[in-house]
Structure 1
């Protein structure tokens, strides 16, 4: 369209001739006006029709389809048309659930040069749906803004008149673009791409206003009304796929490592939150909340397939930790979703620590909890019944605490895929041992235990703390 800017610039330099005609021969001026409107309407329509046709041939062939949902099985038994089928090779496509480098379209590449079809064909370059969308929408906003400003200046039109003339010139082109987008997007299952395209529109609408061209707002609204329902529909399909997921058919249950569905969710939710940051939409937050609830429920259902309670907790912790790690990596640590995962993770870690300590210090822990309860109730008789256990507890602790610390440390570091998380859990477990021992020492220093001579064999808590510090790892 650059070639058409040259005569427009020439017309602007000689706009006083049109002003002269308007003053002295309105009929001729009307002919000039009508001829321009009709000619430019055809020019824009033809240009964009051909441009859209050529861009369509440049789209990746391996795009997400209806079976490529978050809860889909990751198995070669599925149809080869699925992106998750193991025999299906992806060469030129961003992942379905990760934004990858597509975020650049909304930032550094938002006003990048247009895609030139014949150059792309010659170099055999293919593009994602959102890249092609950005190119033709940027071509539209660039030409439309220039056309509006030209009409306003050359035809000396006020805002309302300029809007009418603008619609005469570009009305057919807008209808063409709208129909093309509707046809292209109504079958899309790439929710990240759909959401990126929505935000391309939000940014171009802002760009048009910065150029003092508000007349594109109606067009933008019509495009949003096409894309948003489709985005919401595909998002709901992901939620439904998680809700209806049959855990007995899922693969990757030979270990307690994070499941691939959890990884998909983590990448997807982080991507959506990143995109949503600049133009926040509460509807998106509601969708994310619903998805997170379903994923948390699925993690619990998958964990129940492990028969050992400790393995169930390890699986849950590894999955929650992986989700949180992805959100933190994407700078989403302070999000509502992150806070919820943190709470769930901390609760499961506490439960795991209790399970971890039980084989080594279970008797002492039970004694502490029972006696504290009796003290609160001032039940001296119940405390006396516990007195016979003290000697065995102290001797048992003295002979086995060092080996117990080694065993606990080794088990923790072998259980968790994230070394840093494993180290934090190890420190939580060792800290919990010190706290339980401190509470135990406090109880046996009171009636009816304080006169028991075995108390002299209690190891000093500082000795225990010094030993625990040996397991501390600095990052």
Structure 2
């Protein structure tokens, strides 16, 4: 395909254009000129037309042979001239293109430079990525070391200025962590190599800074504990438990102090012990003084079995007094009304006393509820009368509550959970007065509660002896009860036994629930005081039975003595009360252990003495042989009354009392022995 035809295909002719010229016809100059002119007529410049012809000629020469050889010299010269003109024509355009060529060369160079820069940037980016990974790896390894060797300024400010509370304890933990780091780096070769500890300035500064923080922390902890101890001795009525709670919140601080300044910690512990010794002594003395203001039902020697209490006369007097008050037309004056209340509240007959055991046993069941003790303000103003065991129970509740709270605090704060206590003398020096009391030879509980125990012992002694001097105003010397009952000593055997049962319930609770043994010696000393007092009351009842029965009955009007005597009913009721106190659901002591108590020995002795007195009385009333039938009827009636009373009471309870059943069997055997046929 010729160039002409190529042009024709690329540049299609319009409707007015002439058909293309055959390439062969262009061999002549005229035809060639006409062809060029036709190209020019197609809005093409001459140089462009000639260049096109040249291209076509080259193509045509390759296809159909060279047509230029057919041209004449004249034609060639013309063509040369035209070519030269063309060269001169395009020279201007070439001049114009030279800046563009230069621009293109510069642009090409810039492209090469940019490509080189991008390559360099890529290499730098790869290098930076590699350095970043290396730096990240180094940071992960160095950060722990830097943190271990650094003390944040916030920690220093907190140790210096912040109040000592739960949040402040974080500073103590921070110091302990740093001490552990220092100890680890010193002890292990790997740690010394890792931290370069030998000759490391950073490690030396860290150790020096931690020691300064330890010294400041010890100073602040010391001041804080001293402030709390001073609050206990202040005149304000601040509760010790509030101060103990504040101390327990920062118990780690005391452990820190004990670790770094053990002597100072021991001195502070000693100061707390003697402060609480004074604290409890003062408050318990005030509380006992208030308890002694309570009105007590006094059961004296006139309430023993067989004593001529004059119940009939007292009942008649009381009835006449009430009748006179009701028949009086005049209004009752406040003083007279007060006398009436005293008359109704304080009078307790022997029968009422003996039958009071069921109501009084409730105190043992209520003891398991751990109700709070009566406030001293109420104790000083209440007009009601109370039994002796109520007074002791109030004291016992207050004592046990405070001892339990103090024991748990001491173990948790000062001993950090270790229930092994050293002697107080091992904590530090004590004063001359403390040396004389020998209290320093015991542990903290013996020192702290020594005076309270003495107050409690004196209080129990006051309860059973009714001494006029107030326990709270006495000296610390212990009151030793006399070997025999004084005229003011109580004969309330029920109260003594109930107090004993309360003490045993306290011991059981402290051992099984709280696991606190520090009250054992005090409670055992109370039991050693109460049991002899109880046996003395039993002795007094036995002696009274022997005297009153032989004194009250004569040989005259024997027929009316076939019925049971009043002393038999009193004996049965008294025996029933003792047996109920021997067995109680609140008492978890086993039966064999209970049988070993002085109570059962006293019951057997009381029963044997009663049977002996009743036998002697029957012999005195009815003779030995002449009236044997009446004698047997008399004995049967008395023993049958005892069986009836015991059976009636034992059947009405929710639980059967085995001890009562044993006594029923014994007296039923006596009834069968004297039963007439």
Q: TM-score, structure 1 length as denominator?
A: 0.65
Note the C-alpha offset of 1:136.
0.3
What is the CA–CA distance in structure 2 between the aligned matches of 1:217 and 1:76, rounded to whole Å? 43
Give the structure 2 partner of residue 340 of structure 1: 666
What is the CA–CA distance in structure 2 between the aligned matches of 1:74 and 1:311, rounded to whole Å? 29
Does structure 1 conserve the Cα–Cα contact (< 8 Å) formed by 2:291 and 2:380?
no
Note the C-alpha offset of 1:120.
4.4
Give the structure 2 partner of residue 169 of structure 1: 448
Greater displacement, 160-169 / 122-131: 160-169
Taking only aligned residues, the RMSD between alpha carbons, in angstroms, comes to 3.1
1:207-226 alpha-carbon deviations (Å, 9 max, x no partner)? 11120101111111111111
Note the C-alpha offset of 1:150.
1.0
Note the C-alpha offset of 1:342.
0.5
1:210-255 alpha-carbon deviations (Å, 9 max, x no partner)? 2010111111111111111111111111112223334342599846
Give the structure 2 partner of residue 72 of structure 1: 307
1:263 aligns with 2:569: yes
Higher relative contact order (CA 8 A, sep 6+): 1
The 1:140–1:293 alpha-carbon spacing in structure 2 relative to 1, beyond 3 Å, is same
Does structure 2 conserve the Cα–Cα contact (< 8 Å) formed by 1:239 and 1:291?
yes
Q: Within 5 Å, which residues of 2 pair with 1:187-202?
A: 187-202=489-504
1:324 aligns with 2:655: no
1:104 aligns with 2:362: yes
Give the structure 2 partner of residue 284 of structure 1: 599
Give the structure 2 partner of residue 4 of structure 1: 240
The 1:330–1:214 alpha-carbon spacing in structure 2 relative to 1, beyond 3 Å, is farther
Give the structure 2 partner of residue 136 of structure 1: 395
1:24-56 alpha-carbon deviations (Å, 9 max, x no partner)? 233442342122112211111111111111111
What is the CA–CA distance in structure 1 between the aligned matches of 2:458 and 2:643, rounded to whole Å? 41
Note the C-alpha offset of 1:316.
2.7
Does structure 2 conserve the Cα–Cα contact (< 8 Å) formed by 1:196 and 1:275?
yes
Does structure 2 conserve the Cα–Cα contact (< 8 Å) formed by 1:292 and 1:337?
no
Note the C-alpha offset of 1:272.
1.2
1:293 aligns with 2:528: no
What is the CA–CA distance in structure 1 between the aligned matches of 2:533 and 2:580, rounded to whole Å? 20
1:379-434 alpha-carbon deviations (Å, 9 max, x no partner)? xxxxxxxxxxxxxxxxxxxxxxxxxxxxxxxxxxxxxxxxxxxxxxxxxxxxxxxx
Runs of 5+ unmatched residues, structure 2 = 1-236, 315-319, 322-341, 424-441, 466-488, 651-656
Note the C-alpha offset of 1:200.
0.8
Q: Within 5 Å, which residues of 2 pair with 1:32-431?
A: 32-60=268-296, 62-75=297-310, 91-92=345-346, 95-98=352-355, 99-110=357-368, 111-156=370-415, 157-161=418-422, 164-186=443-465, 187-209=489-511, 210-250=513-553, 254=560, 256-277=562-583, 278=587, 279=589, 280-282=594-596, 283-304=598-619, 305=621, 311-331=630-650, 332=657, 335-349=661-675, 351=676, 354=677
What is the CA–CA distance in structure 1 between the aligned matches of 2:540 and 2:399, rounded to whole Å? 32
Give the structure 2 partner of residue 427 of structure 1: none
The 1:215–1:109 alpha-carbon spacing in structure 2 relative to 1, beyond 3 Å, is closer
| Equivalent residue pairs, number | 345
Q: TM-score, structure 2 length as denominator?
A: 0.47
What is the CA–CA distance in structure 1 between the aligned matches of 2:398 and 2:547, rounded to whole Å? 43
The 1:120–1:160 alpha-carbon spacing in structure 2 relative to 1, beyond 3 Å, is closer
Does structure 1 conserve the Cα–Cα contact (< 8 Å) formed by 2:295 and 2:383?
no
Does structure 2 conserve the Cα–Cα contact (< 8 Å) formed by 1:289 and 1:337?
no
Task: Tell which structure's C-alpha radius of gyration is larger.
Answer: 2
What is the CA–CA distance in structure 2 between the aligned matches of 1:74 and 1:167, rounded to whole Å? 46
The 1:35–1:339 alpha-carbon spacing in structure 2 relative to 1, beyond 3 Å, is same
Q: 1:215 is paired with a residue of what secondary structure?
A: coil
Does structure 1 conserve the Cα–Cα contact (< 8 Å) formed by 2:294 and 2:382?
no
Runs of 5+ unmatched residues, structure 1 = 81-85, 355-475
